[in-house]
Every structure is written in C-alpha cells, then in structure tokens.
Amino acid sequence: MRITRSMMVNNMLYWTGKQMGRLNDLSNIVASGKQINKPSDDPSAAGQILSDRTTLSLFGQYELNITQATTWIKTSSTTLETTGRFLETAQGIMYSLSTADKAAKEGYLEVLEDLYDQVVDLANSKYGGGYMFSGSFSDTQPFSPDFSTTVTAGVGKDIAFDLADAASNVTIEITDSNGTVVQTITPAQPWVKGANTVSWTPAVGLDGDYGFRVTAAGIGGDPVAAFASYQGNAMEKTVMVGEGSSISLNSNGEQIFSNALSVLSRAITATREAITDPDYEVDLGENFALAFSTLEAEEVSLANSSLQLEFKSDRLKQLMTNANDRISEKEVGSTQEAAIKLRTQQTSYDVTLEAVASVLKMTKLSDLV
C-alpha cells in the first residue's frame, strides 16, 4: 500500500490531538483538584456521582421542610402558651366576679371581651402567607372576628355561629354598620351545642354587609353563650422529611381553640348577667379545665413532633455527609500524583510535536534511513 504524505499528516494530527486531549484532562485535574470533570473521565464513577448529587438535592429539600416545620411548631407553641395566659386571666376574673360591685363587673366585662378578641386573633395566626389553624384551607380565616353576614340581590348569606350549650330558643338580630337592628329573626330549628347554621330571608330593602347578634337561652331560661364558628377543616399539615417519611402537624383550629373560645364566651355572658342580677352566679371551673387540658395536650403533641424533627434532622445530616464522602472519594484524587502525570504528559507532548515537525520537513520516506 502506498503511504502518502497526506496520510502521514492526518495520522500525526490524530495522535497529536490525542496527546493534547490527555494534556488538557490532566491540567483540569490539577486545576480543579478533581479526578472526574466530565462523564467520559470515568462513566461508572460519574454515574454514581450524579446519583449522589441528585440525592443531595432531595435531601436539601427535606432539610428545608424540617426547618420550616420546626419554625411552625415554635410559632404554634408560642400561640398556645399566650392563649393559656389569657385563659388564666379570665379564670381569675371569674373567681372575683361574685364579690365585685357593678363598676368592677363592667370593667371585667371589657377585659373579657378583649381577651376573647385576642384569642380569636391568635387562632387566626398566619405562617408563610397562609392561616396556621384552618386545616388544609390555608386561605380561609379559621374564625371570624365579628358575627357578620351579607345580602346580595335580596338573598342572605347563611348565618353561622357556635353555641356553648344546647338551646331551646335563639333570637338573631341583624344590624347595620351603625349597630342599629334592621331585622329580627327567631328561627324554629334544633339548637345544638357547637356549630349551628341559619338560612334566612332578608327583609325587603336589605343589601350589602351586616352584622348579627345572637341571644340564646336553655330550657330553664339560663343564657347560652354564642361564639365564632370554625371555617376551616380537620385536615392536618403533612410535611415530607425523608424518602417515604413524613410528619403530621395538627392545624385543626376547631379542635385547638373552640374550648377556649367557648369558655370565654360563657364568661362574657355570665358577667353580663351578673351586672344586671347581683345574685347571679355561675361555676365555669370544668369549662376552664377542659380548655386548659386541650391546650396542654396540643403542646405535648407539638413537643413530640419537635423531637421527631430533631431526630430526622440529625439522621438527614448523617446521610448527607455519607453522600458527600462518596462523591469526594470518587471525584477527588491526588493533586500531587496528577501534577507528576501532567509533567510527564507535557514532555510526551513536546516530543510528539518535535517528531511531527521533523517528519513534516521530509520530502520522501528515504529521509528516514
């Protein structure tokens, strides 16, 4: 076979390119401190590194979830502690109610109404732009601060409220923005302890937003307190904290706060009665005990969830360390060894270039003899 000058040149260029490629690879290793800078350096190891990096990215999301859940728990715990202190203040007022004069009772009433409003505000706390205690309805306010309803084109929005006890009769006064009663309704329906909903036909001419007041009485004529109904649902917040592992956080505001709102509304109703009737007495000891135990049970649950998250976080950090170690083991080599190889490769490359230059000066193959 005749060997042409073109064949010789192409062959030399090919091997020169190979030498240059190897020289560049070694230069990258020395510069980066990494044995693997592209998949072709070691396809098997590169595949494992890619898998570990994907795992680390997922672990990073789990770590963020744990951090956010931990903050949620701390915020929730502070909310419950504050609610408990408000209840303690209300309980102290009720202990003093029977011996207080009318002026003191009127002062107590203002304080109790303020405490009720503050607990509603706490129950409506937000975290991350959504309501904390409305179940999965994070865009829905769990408890309305005021009793309100709306009339649109003559159709009234259902009136919703909770009763502290079952009632035999209920009167609802619809009020305008000035507090003036514009319609009074006395629906005939079963009145149960807890959530009640009333469908009503607005009086002619009513349109827009209105408030309402609820007056309820039991079979014996004793007043029954009414308070804001829960508007969320019973769903929990589920947080992924690992592969196939999650933790649930209670966000059911009805379960957490309804007993507190119930006893505060009872206290307000009792204080109003005591202002007009000096002999009126009521014992709310069991109701306060129930409200306190509900809050305490939730705080215990939060503490348990916090411990679980701490364990998950420690485990996750160990897994991340392991993955990083595997990557380092496969990816990072000896810089000193790579530097020696680089010098050797540089020498080999220089020799190749000299040989190529020498060959290219030849005019015929007999020059090699």
How far apart are alpha carbons 94 and 282 in whole angstroms? Answer: 9
How far apart are alpha carbons 146 and 50 in whole angstroms? Answer: 56
pLDDT at 56: 73
Chain centroid to CA 60? 16
How far apart are alpha carbons 325 and 4 in whole angstroms? Answer: 54
pLDDT at 82: 97
Give the residue among 140, 127, 88 at the shortest CA–CA distance from 111: 88
Query: For the structural domain made of 146-227, what CATH number should be given?
Result: 2.60.40.4070
- Return all residues near 98 (Cβ < 8 A) that are at least 6 apart: 274, 281
Give the residue among 145, 120, 130 at the shortest CA–CA distance from 235: 130
CATH superfamily, region 60-145+239-330: f41 fragment of flagellin, N-terminal domain (1.20.1330.10)
Give the residue among 187, 241, 192 at the shortest CA–CA distance from 62: 241
Statement: residue 359 has pLDDT above 90? no
pLDDT digits (tens, 9 = 90+) for 93-117: 999 998 999 999 999 999 999 999 9
Are 142 and 232 within 8 A, CB to CB?
yes
Statement: residue 345 has pLDDT above 60? no
Angle separating helix axes 43-97 and 285-331, nearest 10 degrees: 160
Statement: residue 368 has pLDDT above 50? no
Provide the pLDDT confidence category of residue 313 given band limits of 50, 70 and 90: confident
How far apart are alpha carbons 205 and 362 in whole angstroms? Answer: 110
**Least trusted range by pLDDT, from 125-129, 168-172, 221-225, 345-349:** 345-349
How far apart are alpha carbons 111 and 98 in whole angstroms? Answer: 16
Give residue limits of the domains in the chain: 5-33+333-368, 60-145+239-330, 146-227
How far apart are alpha carbons 68 and 74 in whole angstroms? Answer: 10
Statement: residue 240 has pLDDT above 70? yes
pLDDT digits (tens, 9 = 90+) for 2-32: 555 566 555 555 555 555 555 555 555 545 5
How far apart are alpha carbons 193 and 165 in whole angstroms? Answer: 4
pLDDT digits (tens, 9 = 90+) for 47-72: 565 676 777 788 788 899 999 999 99
pLDDT at 196: 94
Q: What is the pTM (predicted TM-score) of this model?
A: 0.74
Give the residue among 134, 90, 73, 137 at the shortest CA–CA distance from 257: 134
Statement: residue 35 has pLDDT above 70? no
What is residue 196's three-state secondary structure? strand
